[in-house]
Amino acid sequence: MSDERSASRRTNSTNALEGNVIKDDGDDDDDAIAALVRWSVTNGARARGVCATRDERRGRGLETTRVVAKHEVVLAVPMTLGIVDEAEGHPVKTREVVRGAPWGARLAMRVMQERAKGSGSRVAAYVATLPRRVATSPLAYDDDEVDDVQYGPGVSEIRAMREGVRKWYEKVKAEAPEALGEGDVGYSAFADAVSVVHSRAYGIAGDNENDGETVGYFRALLPLADMMNHGGDVVLDGSEDSEPRIAATDNIAWSVLGDDGVISFAATRDIDEGEEALMSYGERSNDHFLIYYGFAPENNPHDDVVLFSNFEHAMVWHSVAHPELWNGEDGVVRERAANAAYESVIAALRSDGSPDAKLAAAEPRMKILSAGRVDARLLSAFAAMFAGTEASGAADGPVEGDELKFALADVAARCEQLLGGMPTTLADDFATLAAGVDDDAQRVRLQYRISKKKILAETIEMFSL
């Protein structure tokens, strides 16, 4: 799926859905989509004011055929039309083995099983429109292309994901080969199927609640709905201070699964005729988008860079950078102050109660984002090392004064260290991208590492002494 956020009208619109009438523009290349639309509507899907579209640069998508009002449902898809991650879908004798696999592997096996059935599959019309692979997925990389990502934490995540997919392929191939469909299925075919479900699956929750939490969460592939591309948040020009001005570009949101077994997609604002229907795939870093979707959004305010793997890593780094602050009894006091400041911010985040604060408190890695947004735990600990008192970095207000300036300078120094360890510079990457890159996967890797390097360079510019 593409990361494009343009609202310009696509010229190759096909298969308009208005009520239960299929309007086919005669494009022979879209016969499979036309058949999918007919099958979906015949079997209970409902669509109003959208059509399936395609262009060479952005691939498939949905576009409005008329003005759509805010809260209007443009698409409703019964779960019976989808491919669901559920044990009952797998051959009985494979279920015990398959149950322990990651959701992406399980759902990929379900796709392979339905493909193996051919025209006998209950979702044959849908399977016919699914791509065989996502060429820009890290699952399609060779080892040199993984290294070409350059950003250490991203490289590590990609390697771990690839190793996990191969491990589960080998286990299932040895113990439950029927789960892979018919024939002698090789690893590449399995990895390709995983890349497809990673890029298209929905996380769906039921509407029943248990102690305030929605239950029944599962993942599924949904026909027509999986054509909607990502509309993420973007940083607007003219941001002031350290708080970026962020705008959402998505215009469609999906509901929880209702008692009728239907998931609905409704407009979040009024949408003009000819706009692309866009959903947010989540407020996530580019690591998530690259690893699971195979693209890297530009200008993503939620992208981040990991400075340290945890608090202990940060303190070891600081002791090497400033041995004079760590020596003798004074060093013991400063270290105690840093620990107290760190714990104080953790306590403040936990008491905040918001999901974001709870997530930040639980995340051991210490990060920076664009516009000078630095992990408060890290800043407070570094500032406390300079101040040398346990009062520094109190949770009831921001860290201020020279200790903050020195702490931010240390953050900038760490950014310089990380940026200097990458094989190419930001200017090199911009020049390569500007010269034109024919390979889509290489272009995605360039966009991914450019985003990381921009965050690092911006932080250096803002906070270096």
Per-domain boundaries in the chain: 13-82+222-284, 88-199, 304-463
Cα angle: 87, vertex 92, 95; to 5 degrees: 45
Q: What is the pLDDT of residue 3?
A: 36
Q: With contact defined as beta carbons under 8 Å apart, do 460 and 411 qualify?
A: no
pLDDT tens digits, residue range 438-464? Answer: 999 999 999 999 999 999 999 999 999
Query: Which two tokens mark 394?
Result: 């109190």
**Amino acid identity at 441:** A
Q: What is the pLDDT of residue 15?
A: 41
Q: What is the C-alpha separation between 286 and 430, in angstroms, rounded? A: 18
Q: What is the pLDDT of residue 399?
A: 52
Lowest mean pLDDT among 50-64, 123-137, 317-331: 50-64
272-291: b or e for each residue (b if 16 or more CB lie within 10 Å)?
A: eebbbbbbbbeebbbbebbb
Q: What is the C-alpha separation between 72 and 238, in angstroms, rounded? A: 33
Contacts of 441 (CB under 8 A, 6+ apart): 135, 136, 140, 141, 145, 294
Q: What is the pLDDT of residue 54?
A: 74
231-241: b or e for each residue (b if 16 or more CB lie within 10 Å)?
A: bbbbbeeeeee
> What homologous superfamily does CATH list for 13-82+222-284?
SET domain (2.170.270.10)
Q: With contact defined as beta carbons under 8 Å apart, do 179 and 97 qualify?
A: yes
Give the mean model confidence (pLDDT) for residues 378-394. Answer: 76
Residue 235: pLDDT band with limits 50, 70, 90? confident
Region of residue 151 (phi > 0: left; psi between -120 and 50: alpha; otherwise: beta): beta
pLDDT tens digits, residue range 46-83? Answer: 999 998 887 666 678 899 999 999 999 999 999 999 99
Task: Quote the mean pLDDT of the chain.
Answer: 88
212 pLDDT more than 60:
no
Q: What is the C-alpha separation between 27 and 51, in angstroms, rounded? A: 14
Query: Which two tokens mark 70?
Result: 């805010």
Q: What is the pLDDT of residue 150?
A: 98
Closest by alpha carbon to 284, among 270, 266, 272, 297?
A: 297
Lowest mean pLDDT among 21-25, 101-105, 123-127, 391-395: 21-25
6 pLDDT more than 60:
no
Closest by alpha carbon to 52, among 83, 27, 84?
A: 27
pLDDT tens digits, residue range 95-108? Answer: 999 999 999 999 99
pLDDT tens digits, residue range 179-203? Answer: 999 888 999 999 999 999 999 999 9
